[in-house]
A and B are shown apart, each in its own frame.
Chain A
Amino acid sequence: MLKGFGTVLTKELRELVRDPKILLGMIIVPLIMFPVLGSIMSFSIQSAAEQAKKASALVLDRDGGIYATAFMENLKANGVKIYNLTNVNPEEAVNRGLLSEYNTTQIIEIPNGFSENITRHLAGETNVTTYVKLYSVFSGTGIVEDVGSSLIDLLVERLNRQYAPDLMKTSKASIIKGQIYENVDPRTLSGLMISQAIAMPITIMILLTYSMQIAATSVAMEKEEKTLETLLTLPMDRFAILMGKLSGSILVAGIGALAYMVGFNYHMGSFASFSAVSGLDLASVGLAPSLLGYVLLGISLFVTLLSALALAVILSAFAEDVRSAQSMVGYIYPFLFVPSLALMYVDINMLPLAARIALYAIPYTHPIIASKAVTMGDNLTAALGIVYVAIFTLVIMYVASRLFATEKILTMKLKFKGFRKREKSAVAE
Chain B
Amino acid sequence: MKTAVEATEVTKFFGNIKALDGLNLKVNTGEIFGLIGPNGAGKTTCLRVISTLLLPTSGTVKVFGLDVSADAPEVRKIITYLPEEAGAYRNLSGWEYLQFMANFSARNKDEKYVAVQEAAEICGLGDRLRDKVKTYSKGMKRRLLIARALMPKPRLAILDEPTGGLDVLHSYHIRGIIKRYAKNRDTTVLLSSHNMLEVEHLCDKVALVNKGKVVAEGKPAELRDKYGSVNLEDVFAKVVGLA
For window 155-175 of chain B, which residues contact chain A by CB distance below 8 Å? Answer: 160-161
Minimal Cβ-Cβ distance residue in B for A224:
B87
**Complex contact A230–B104 (CB within 8 A):** no
**Complex contact B90–A235 (CB within 8 A):** no
Q: How far is the CB of B21 from chain A (nearest CB, A)?
A: 12
With an 8 A cutoff between CB atoms, is A27 at the interface? no
List residues of chain A with CB within 8 A of the CB of B160: 429
**Complex contact A227–B42 (CB within 8 A):** no
With an 8 A cutoff between CB atoms, is A182 at the interface? no
A425–B44 CA distance with the chains assembled, in angstroms: 12
For window 17-56 of chain B, which residues contact chain A by CB distance below 8 Å? Answer: 17, 19, 39-45, 48, 51-55
| A224-244 Cβ-contact flags toward B at 8 Å (1 or 0) | 111101101111100000000
A426–B77 CA distance with the chains assembled, in angstroms: 24
**Complex contact A225–B54 (CB within 8 A):** no
The answer to whether A226 and B48 touch (CB under 8 A), given A235-B77, A422-B15, is no
For window 227-266 of chain A, which residues contact chain B by CB distance below 8 Å? Answer: 227, 229-230, 232-236
Q: How far is the CB of A196 from chain B (nearest CB, A)?
A: 39
**Complex contact A229–B14 (CB within 8 A):** no
Q: Identify B86's interface contact among A225, A236, A422, A424, CB under 8 A.
A: A225
A429–B44 CA distance with the chains assembled, in angstroms: 6
**Complex contact A427–B17 (CB within 8 A):** yes
List residues of chain A with CB within 8 A of the CB of B51: 233
With an 8 A cutoff between CB atoms, is B89 at the interface? yes
What is the number of residues of chain B that contact chain A, defined by CB distance less than 8 Å? 39
Q: How far is the CB of A241 from chain B (nearest CB, A)?
A: 11
| B92-132 Cβ-contact flags toward A at 8 Å (1 or 0) | 00000000010011000000000000000000000000000
List residues of chain B with CB within 8 A of the CB of A230: 81-83, 86
- Max chain B CB contacts within 10 Å: which of A236, A411, A429? A429
| B174-212 Cβ-contact flags toward A at 8 Å (1 or 0) | 000000000000000000101000000000000000000
List residues of chain B with CB within 8 A of the CB of A215: none
List residues of chain A with CB within 8 A of the CB of B15: 422-423, 425
**Complex contact B14–A226 (CB within 8 A):** no
Q: Identify A407's interface contact among B53, B81, B90, CB under 8 A.
A: B53
A229–B88 CA distance with the chains assembled, in angstroms: 11
**Complex contact B104–A236 (CB within 8 A):** yes
With an 8 A cutoff between CB atoms, is B71 at the interface? no
A281–B41 CA distance with the chains assembled, in angstroms: 75
Q: How far is the CB of A421 from chain B (nearest CB, A)?
A: 11
With an 8 A cutoff between CB atoms, is B225 at the interface? no
With an 8 A cutoff between CB atoms, is A428 at the interface? yes
List residues of chain A with CB within 8 A of the CB of B39: 429
A229–B45 CA distance with the chains assembled, in angstroms: 13
Q: Identify B14's interface contact among A233, A236, A425, A429, CB under 8 A.
A: A425
- Max chain A CB contacts within 10 Å: which of B44, B53, B77? B53
With an 8 A cutoff between CB atoms, is A48 at the interface? no
Q: How far is the CB of A26 from chain B (nearest CB, A)?
A: 29
With an 8 A cutoff between CB atoms, is B6 at the interface? no
A232–B194 CA distance with the chains assembled, in angstroms: 25
With an 8 A cutoff between CB atoms, is B76 at the interface? yes
**Complex contact A411–B104 (CB within 8 A):** no
**Complex contact B52–A411 (CB within 8 A):** no
The answer to whether A425 and B17 touch (CB under 8 A), given A225-B86, A229-B83, A229-B86, is yes
With an 8 A cutoff between CB atoms, is B73 at the interface? yes
- Max chain B CB contacts within 10 Å: which of A230, A234, A236, A423? A230
**Complex contact A233–B54 (CB within 8 A):** no
**Complex contact B14–A235 (CB within 8 A):** no
With an 8 A cutoff between CB atoms, is A410 at the interface? yes
For window 187-239 of chain A, which residues contact chain B by CB distance below 8 Å? Answer: 224-227, 229-230, 232-236
With an 8 A cutoff between CB atoms, is B233 at the interface? no
With an 8 A cutoff between CB atoms, is B222 at the interface? no
**Complex contact A226–B105 (CB within 8 A):** no
The answer to whether A427 and B86 touch (CB under 8 A), given A233-B80, A235-B76, is no
Q: Identify A426's interface contact among B54, B82, B88, B89, CB under 8 A.
A: B54
Minimal Cβ-Cβ distance residue in B for A237:
B73
Q: How far is the CB of B48 from chain A (nearest CB, A)?
A: 7
Q: How far is the CB of B20 from chain A (nearest CB, A)?
A: 9
A234–B101 CA distance with the chains assembled, in angstroms: 9
A234–B82 CA distance with the chains assembled, in angstroms: 11
For window 376-429 of chain A, which residues contact chain B by CB distance below 8 Å? Answer: 407, 410-411, 422-429
Q: How far is the CB of B83 from chain A (nearest CB, A)?
A: 4
The answer to whether A429 and B77 touch (CB under 8 A), given A227-B86, A230-B86, is no
The answer to whether A411 and B40 touch (CB under 8 A), given A226-B85, A427-B17, A428-B84, is no
For the complex of A and B, 3 pairs with smallest distance between CB atoms: A225-B87, A226-B86, A429-B44
4 more CB-based (< 8 A) A-B contacts, given A227-B87, A230-B86, A233-B79: A229-B53, A425-B15, A426-B14, A428-B44
